[in-house]
């Protein structure tokens, strides 16, 4: 059963398309914040400190800022990103070095296109594992937590761990 089948999501939704949508929303929010900063720059400087807090323009800007915060918290009200990222094939641990390297290549390009942050790359990568690699990753995460080890938190570590685990098996197998 696929990851998105377990979730209550719209048909055709993929994690990468969701990330692309989120990226578009963040970009739109950045544009809105830049607009607010431009408005702030055009404001006359206050005569007294109390004037700033009570001015209609500042109250209006604060209201707009609160609306933006609500949109972020609710994940609504922003236009959808036009970026459509195709799903990558899941890596099942097959004894094929090309399969792992192709997965890494595909994910790196999707991460770049969708502007995915390093910590999110770690989480998203697990979605594209199946079979033995998914079991290995899940047990690795649990073992890290139980032993108090620092969890893998960046993409370079994930790639190194996957190559160490699955490419050595491929070469020796």
Q: What is the pLDDT along the chain (173 residues), one digit of tens a residue?
A: 444 444 455 566 677 777 777 888 888 888 888 888 887 777 766 555 555 566 777 777 777 777 777 666 655 444 444 555 556 678 887 777 888 898 899 889 888 888 888 888 888 888 888 888 899 899 988 888 889 888 888 899 999 998 888 886 545 54
Q: Are 10 and 75 in contact (CB under 8 A)?
A: no
Q: Are 167 and 97 in contact (CB under 8 A)?
A: yes
On the 0-12 / 13-18 / 19+ scale of CB atoms within 10 A, 17 is: buried
Model pLDDT, residue 1: 43
Residue 148, Ramachandran bin (φ over 0: left; ψ between -120 and 50: alpha; else beta)? left
Round to whole Å and give the CA distance between 91 and 106.
11
Model pLDDT, residue 173: 47
Residue 139, Ramachandran bin (φ over 0: left; ψ between -120 and 50: alpha; else beta)? alpha
Tokens of 17: 């398309």
Tokens of 15: 């994690």
Model pLDDT, residue 71: 67
Round to whole Å and give the CA distance between 53 and 45.
12
Round to whole Å and give the CA distance between 165 and 93.
10
Model pLDDT, residue 94: 76
> Which string of DSSP letters, residue by residue, matches the chain?
--HHHHS---TT--HHHHHHHHHHHHHHHHHHHHHHHHHHHTSPPPSSHHHHHH-HHHHHHHHHHHHHHHHHHHT-SSPPP---PPPPPPB---S-HHHHHHHHHHHHHHHHHHT--HHHHHHHHHHTB-SHHHHHHHHHHHHHHHHTPPPP-SHHHHHHHHIIIIIHHHHH-
């Amino acid at each position: 059963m696929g990851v998105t089948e377990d979730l209550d999501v719209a048909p055709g939704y993929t994690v990468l398309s969701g990330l692309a949508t989120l990226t578009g929303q963040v970009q739109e929010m950045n544009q809105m914040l830049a607009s607010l900063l431009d408005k702030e720059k055009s404001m006359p400087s206050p005569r007294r400190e109390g004037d700033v807090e009570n001015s209609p323009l500042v109250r209006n800007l604060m209201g707009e800022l609160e609306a933006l915060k609500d949109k972020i918290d609710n994940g609504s009200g922003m236009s959808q990103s036009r970026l459509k990222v195709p799903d990558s094939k899941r890596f099942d641990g097959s004894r094929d070095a090309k399969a792992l390297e192709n997965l890494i290549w595909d994910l790196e390009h999707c991460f770049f296109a969708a502007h995915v942050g390093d910590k999110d790359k770690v989480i998203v990568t697990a979605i594209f594992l199946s079979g033995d690699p998914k079991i290995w990753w899940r047990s690795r995460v649990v073992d890290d937590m139980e032993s108090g080890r620092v969890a893998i938190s960046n993409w370079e570590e994930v790639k190194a761990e996957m190559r160490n685990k699955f490419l050595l098996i491929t070469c020796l197998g």
